[in-house]
Amino acid sequence: MFKKLVAIEPVSLIPTAEEALHQYAEQVELYRDIPADDEEIVRRIGDADAALLSYTSRMGKNVIERCPNLRYIGMCCSLYSEESANVDIAFAREKGIKVLGIRDYGDRGVVEYVLHELTGLLHGFGMPMLHDEPVEIYGLKVGIVGLGVSGRMIADALAFLGADISYYSRSHKPDAEAAGMKYKPLDALLRESEVVFTCLNKNVLLLGEPEFEALGEGKVLFNTSIGPGFDSAALEKWLDKPGTHFFCDTYAAAGPVSEGFFQRPNVHSPGVSAGRTRQAFVLLSKKVLANIETALGE
């Protein structure tokens, strides 16, 4: 059992999960606002031996080395790699501090977002139609860049509706190919697909000007990654081509774009995360508590 556990900011746990934290620590403190700076994070952690944070703050070396009692840091947000994490995991490991994160908790909401926006564009529901007549997903040439969990879920949903699925990934996916999905080099995938989805890990940028040139006009790009999977300046240049459309759920997923970007008629974004649903918070909470149990068990 931890002596003191502190959530340094809102961490999206459901109420029953917040109550459950008291099973794992003698003292629990939950902060309801985002700390302004490192000094405030250090103050909030104080003498705690366990800390929780979400994606809205960072715990780097400067914070960790000033919290000598810490032995566990729980990331209540997606952890894809040490390099992209908002915790200095390597330094924490040097200090003997266990760091655990979660992933794959909001993907179903992202799939529903994709289906909503794509059918709207193809049929003209609430937006201009992609073509001069309504078309179905059936037979649509879809390219998935990054066939991880969320990319595969999008691919499966669209394949169920009859889309022709191709994918590009760091490695071949035999199970996807057994399901009828075709591996293509990135350049070929971009040239031959009508709709492309970038489903990449944080800080992975695969599309620059040459790739957008290969994608060409009359195409649709969805970014469902946490951050941009492309060079944002190259994206803006591509959107000047006729018939192009870009979709992302959060504004951050477009990267550092120019002022007025989201007012462009071919840019579509609700400005909210599609994965932040009631069910996602339940799953997030379960995974956060499971990580705490794992840390205590070690």
Q: Is 31 a domain residue?
A: yes
If we measure between CA atoms, which residue out of 11, 55, 36, 39 comes closest to residue 28?
11
Banded model confidence at residue 245, pLDDT cuts 50, 70, 90: very high
- Claim to verify: residue 78 and residue 122 sit in the same structural domain: no
- Claim to verify: residue 99 and residue 112 sit in the same structural domain: no
- Claim to verify: residue 263 and residue 175 sit in the same structural domain: yes
- Claim to verify: residue 231 and residue 128 sit in the same structural domain: yes
Banded model confidence at residue 281, pLDDT cuts 50, 70, 90: very high
Q: Is 280 left (phi over 0), alpha (psi -120 to 50) or beta?
A: alpha
At 194 the pLDDT is 98
Instruction: Please state whether the predicted TM-score (pTM) of the whole model is above 0.85.
Output: yes
Residue 80 sits in a domain whose CATH number is 3.40.50.720
- Claim to verify: residue 223 and residue 114 sit in the same structural domain: yes
Digit-coded pLDDT (tens) for 153-199 = 999 999 999 999 999 999 999 999 999 999 999 999 999 999 999 99
- Claim to verify: residue 85 and residue 215 sit in the same structural domain: no
Q: Is 79 a domain residue?
A: yes
Instruction: Compute and round to an integer the Cα radius of gyration of the chain.
Output: 21
Q: Is 9 a domain residue?
A: yes
Q: How much is the average pLDDT of 203-222?
A: 95
Q: Is 181 a domain residue?
A: yes
Q: Is 77 a domain residue?
A: yes
d(CA 131, CA 104): 34
- Claim to verify: residue 66 and residue 121 sit in the same structural domain: no
Res. 280: pLDDT tops 90: yes
- Claim to verify: residue 188 and residue 230 sit in the same structural domain: yes
Banded model confidence at residue 123, pLDDT cuts 50, 70, 90: very high
Res. 7: pLDDT tops 90: yes
Res. 215: pLDDT tops 90: yes
Res. 103: pLDDT tops 90: no
- Claim to verify: residue 19 and residue 78 sit in the same structural domain: yes
At 84 the pLDDT is 82
Digit-coded pLDDT (tens) for 254-277 = 999 999 999 999 999 999 999 999
Mean pLDDT (the chain, rounded): 96
Q: Is 273 a domain residue?
A: no
Q: Is 72 a domain residue?
A: yes
Digit-coded pLDDT (tens) for 40-64 = 999 999 999 999 999 999 999 999 9
Q: Is 245 a domain residue?
A: yes
If we measure between CA atoms, which residue out of 264, 244, 280, 252 comes closest to residue 112?
280
Q: How much is the average pLDDT of 89-113?
A: 94
* Total number of domains in the chain: 2
Angle between helices 149-160 and 107-123 (to 10 degrees): 40
d(CA 85, CA 75): 9
- Claim to verify: residue 169 and residue 236 sit in the same structural domain: yes
SS3 195: strand
Which domain range does residue 138 map to?
Answer: 107-268
- Claim to verify: residue 139 and residue 252 sit in the same structural domain: yes
At 80 the pLDDT is 82
Banded model confidence at residue 202, pLDDT cuts 50, 70, 90: confident
- Claim to verify: residue 121 and residue 150 sit in the same structural domain: yes
